Structure 1
Amino acid sequence: MQLRECIFILVMMRISKGFIVKGPTYPLVVPLGGSLVLPCSVDVPLANDKLKVVWIRTDSNVLVHVFQYGESRPDAQYKDFHNRAHFFTKEIQYGNFSLLLKNVRAEDKGFYRCKVYNEVDSDEALVEIKAVERLIAASSTHNMSAHVGEDVTLNCTVDSHIKPEELEKVSWRKTDKDGDGHIPVLFFQNNKTLPESSDEQYRDRVEFFTDEIHRGNFSLRLKSVRTEDQGVYMCQVIDGELSANTTIVLHQLGFSVLHIFVLIFCISACGSALLLSVIWYRSQNTSGALNYQICVISVPNLIMFFAFLFWGVTEGFLSETVACCSHCVLRSLLLLWVSPYSDNFPGSRRITMHSIVHLEYALFTNVIYSVLYRSFQQKSLNYSESDRVLITILFAIMLLICIINIIFLLAEVIRNKDGNMRAILDFVSDIGHDVLPPLQLIFLYYAFGAANHGLFYVGVFPLFLTLTRYSWKDACVKKIKHVSLFKRVAWLCFMIVVTFIMVYSYRIALNKEKDCIGWTCVAAFLQVLWGIVVLKHSFGDLDLPYRHIVYLIGSVGVVFVDSIALMTELILKTANGDRAVGDLRIVVFPCECIFASCVLMLVIFERYITKRQQCSQNEAQSDPANASHQDQHSQNEAVCDQSMPNGPEQNANNESHEMRSLLQTQENTT
């Protein structure tokens, strides 16, 4: 029996002599945190009881794992490899001494030696972990707070085996209020920052620290924090199949200094409008009434201008801020025309107050379409060169028409002289005013991609509108003092239809814009203002009845609504993080439309209401119980009956008959 064992041992020693340890023929790459097999095997099986296998980290010369005396020796491992480095125990009898390395770290990169011993021989193989693929996004803090108006830095540091400049994509996104989607904040791709990738609410307010990118610092600077900025932000890094992300929650605390200023301005506007109106009403018959009236017109609206301006800096966006601010300044012109003492304003004898309204329309149109043109420029790269040139020419023509109108109206205010130049400017201004609405529609349809759907409105309707306007002027305006109530109602209905169609056309043209509803409200006000200019230009400068009531609606009521809407929007947005209305133009311009519509109604029914007032005053002065005044009472009734617009056939002699009756009434009274 002993002889057989000796022979077996000799045979095994003979076989094992000169064994070769095999390792991988290529360096190994492993993802960070993953598991990796370091190959090591021999070409012939070896006896386990005389076998020793040692894995060593060459650079630090530390033991990774040891197999000896037929078993693994974890007690001999260096502490960094405890529970991470393992043999395939069942495979050792077949000559497989590969090592399983779990939870690979970045510092595991390097060379490893697999050395195999037995009693008569030894051999080794070298294994290299060339790269530990890692992609880690981390933030120094996951909760941040900021006041509105401040600048804040959202931290994001990327640790990767890839150079930061060579990363495929780094993106900052904000989780929307529903939690289902993400709002793009800023992207970094192909070694470039992509500011055009930002959502509109973040455009021009976010940036990377460019000098820190090569260090893996992709922190985001968010400027002028707004209430809607609060929420969850995610920094995500993508490179091939690897990806990593980190999140930061941005909290917003209380009101900023600018918020407090907005509230103060709104309260001041309400208070000043009410106080100055009371003072003006009590001093109507005094010499200071005119000054108080100027204060009522200018002071509250100027305060609201600053309120909307600070709102735009902190919370608003460009189109909303420009529209509301310009509206606060220019609406004073319409109030000036409606005001009870407009005839006493300096220079009112040299100009027609109709010019004031026309000036407001020209200035406001210029401002609004400049903003729209800027919006077009931001997306003009999607248009062909010919389309961009055509749209720019259309805008230039509209701008030129508005400038000519403004020059003519200002010249009329400064120097009211006749001459060839004034006649030319008057003609160009008049024609330009009529063609401006068609040009506006053409510009909108082409600039905002709705031209194919609006050919009828662009081509046929504006022509019909202009022809109808001139037909009305030729047929009725020459004898506008004798136009019947029926014709006035018909003209009002026509203006309503025109306004509806124009506003609907604006709605179609701007349908693709996010703030389409806000622009539609602005268009409605512009169209009502255009109607006032057209009718007042045709009807002449007659005295507006009930102007005190309409004046108070515009000077006090509208200011109250605008200021309360702005305060409510600010408070709710600060509390909830989301805007209640979304666009203050939805509140501001419908209110102004109501005021302008009241003015338009008074313009259309001006003569009718005025004569009713005259009849009521004459009846109040008459005493039917006194026989000496019975004739006067009868004459007053006749005057009222004849002054009422009953039909075209009676209107021809109304004015002369009225004047004779009034003269006779005055003689009887004397």
Structure 2
Amino acid sequence: MKSCSAMRQLSKIVIMFCMLLLPHTTDTRFQMSTQEQNVMTSLNSDVLLPCIFRTQGDVVDTEFIFVTWTHNNKEIARYKAGDVLITSKALLFESELQKGNASFLLKNFQVGDKGEYICHVVDAPDEGQIKVRLEATDTRFQMYTQAQNVISSLNRDVLLPCTFRTQGDFVDTESIIVTWTHNNKEIARYQAGDVLNTSKALLFERELQRGNASLLLKNFQVEDKGEYICHVVDVPDEGQIRIRLEELPKVMIVPDILVRGKDQIINCIIDGHFPEEISITWKKNGVPLRKTEMKDDGTFITTESFILNPVDENDEFTCEVKVMNEIISTTQKFKLTDV
């Protein structure tokens, strides 16, 4: 009941405002109030996204209109021929549609609700749409991402990213706590001006002032693989980022001996890659075959094959693999036999 009452009060204001935006014209068959709007609201609040249209006459014949609302290209509410399709999160009101008000009530606004909303109204043969950009006014604390994958070769220093935002241009480092854990074991901490680092894991206080809690991991080894968590507390707010660190996979071409002048399959095996999605390119023309399986340690093994009829031992075949932003490759000449 409170939502309906709030909707009625807000809709009156929205209609009055948006009608002022309608251009004065003698052609009143169909018009949308405006083409684009920006709406700001705080987290955990209900917010009304405006969408006002006008058809011929004082009352809209709702049997002939079709209304859809989308969020970042995904449909979230619809009205067609008396049927209203809504959720507990997104509300349309048929009684308001009769007044040319297709405004949309979004319940309990969260960070994931930010973005572009489109109200599309069809009153055949006419149609129009309004774009509404919804953003949060409460930006006191925000982690920039929730999960990342990082890959590296062994014996290198690796930067594990963790960035956050608080109110203002600079972070008050006296009030924040930052901890990094590896497979549930704490490896670095910052609290009230004290940085607890090791020779293996380094945090930088100067970067914390800029909202950068990234961790420098020294001399990456096999035992350093696994899940890392960056946890930031800025009372009363907190958040965390999970990062999976893996070694660059091994790339092999098999077999190394082929029969001259006979169709055979050669394979490019990529062992130990993560995540599953990779790009594989052969440097010779052929028919590609690919197979991916998950291993017991949670990484994947992929086999890339093509049919080859070898005639020259001087030909070089290269399997080039792109995993995220890293490119690794192996090149091989085949020994040829006549049997």
TM-score category (smaller protein): 0.3 to 0.5
> Greater strand share, 1 or 2?
2
Higher CA-based Rg? 1
- Higher RCO by CA contacts (8 Å cutoff, separation 6 or greater): 2
Q: TM-score, normalised by structure 1?
A: 0.21
Q: TM-score, normalised by structure 2?
A: 0.37
